[in-house]
Amino acid sequence: MVSEAVEYKLLIADDHPLFRGALREGISGLMDRAEIAEAGTFDEAVAILDRSADIDLVLLDLAMPGARGFSGLMYLRTQYPSVPVVVVSANDDPATIRRCMEFGASGFIPKTLGVEDMRAAISRILGGGLWTPPDVDLSAGSDAETAALMARMATLTPQQVRVLMMLSEGLLNKQIAYQLGVSEATVKAHVSAILQKLGVESRTQAVIAAAKIETGQWSQGAGIEG
């Protein structure tokens, strides 16, 4: 439950300003004291988290500039494991919700959820609990192949997740190196490690493997190096 004595710090990461405003208004009605930061891109969200390690909760849209599918969630859970992340998404397919929880989300709030239900969900999560729509069966696990692939994905480091995100966007090594501020040799080392951890032989196969668990949300960008 939300404590009146605590000033909470929250981060809303969503690329739609109107929805961020609606979410901010909903949260403000839940607690007397809250510091709410907003990010319209995934890189903005990461920059805010790097500056403010004491954020109590991240409300993350699955699809926003810089992140697609579960990639943003995977990165946040590995890079900032002590910060709870709740996914707020228009894609409320049960398989998507289950995979979000399997990747370490503290909850899943559909964008269609009413304000009072949303407040109740956030209150439970801030109190240390989990929340998903009550009509979703979380016990229905993935098939064996997908489950094994998700387990391999979970072994990637935060930087390897970022590299895989960029591979999925079709970026070349030199473009990835520029965006991450590292050398091309470092990027090649990350790519080699990703291939080994995922049990695949090429960049293209790594992108396809990632897409298998993204329920179609990651595009397999053009111009992928072999």
Residue 223 located in a structural domain: no
Look up the pTM and report it: 0.79
Residue 224 lies in a domain: no
Report the percent of the chain where pLDDT is more than 70.
90
Q: Taking a C-beta distance cutoff of 8 angstroms, is the pair 204, 182 a contact?
A: no
Structure tokens at 50: 């790097």
Mean pLDDT computed over 57-78:
87
Residues 154 and 106 grouped into a single domain: no
Boundary (domain end) residue, out of 73, 100, 126: 126
Straight-line distance from the first to the last Cα atom of the chain, in angstroms, rounded to the nearest whole number = 51
Q: Report the pLDDT averaged over residues 46-53.
A: 89
The rounded distance, in Å, linking the Cα atoms of 171 and 139 is: 37
Same structural domain, 104 and 160: no
- The answer to whether residues 25 and 107 belong to one domain is yes
CA distance 115 to 30: 10
Structure confidence at residue 176 as a pLDDT band (50, 70, 90): very high
What's the chain's average pLDDT? Answer: 85
**Total domains present in the chain:** 2
The CATH number of the domain where 158 resides is what?
1.10.10.10
Are 39 and 118 found together in one domain?
yes
Report the pLDDT averaged over residues 13-26.
Answer: 90
Is there a single domain that holds both residue 81 and residue 173?
A: no
Q: Is 3 a member of any domain?
A: no
Higher pLDDT, 162 or 213: 162
Does 105 lie in the same domain as 21? Answer: yes
> Would you state the pLDDT for residue 221?
36
Confidence of residue 215 (pLDDT cuts 50, 70, 90): low
- The pLDDT of residue 219: 36
Domain assignment present for residue 226? The answer is no
Quickly count: other Cβ atoms within 10 Å of residue 93's Cβ. 11
pLDDT, residue 173, reads: 94
C-beta atoms surrounding 139 within 10 Å: 6
pLDDT at site 224? 35
Same domain, 159 and 87: no
Same domain, 117 and 18: yes
CA separation for the pair 186, 155 (Å, rounded): 18
Residues 75 and 171 in one domain: no
Residue 225 resides in a domain? no
pLDDT, mean of residues 46-60: 91
Q: Which of 120, 40, 41, 35 is nearest to 86 (CA)?
A: 120
Domain containing 158 equals 144-212
Residue 66 dihedral angles phi and psi, to the nearest 5° = 100, -10
Q: Are residues 160 and 115 in the same domain?
A: no
Last residue of a domain, one of 69, 92, 126: 126
Q: Residues 6 or more apart from 217 whose CB is under 8 A from it? A: 62, 63, 68, 69, 70, 91
- Is 166 inside any structural domain? yes
The answer to whether the beta carbons of residues 109 and 91 sit under 8 Å apart is no
Q: Kindly state whether residues 17 and 71 are assigned to the same domain.
A: yes
Q: Is residue 190 part of a domain?
A: yes
In a domain, 133, yes or no: no
**Which residue, 97, 126, 155, sits at the end of a domain?**
126
Say whether both 156 and 56 belong to one domain. Answer: no
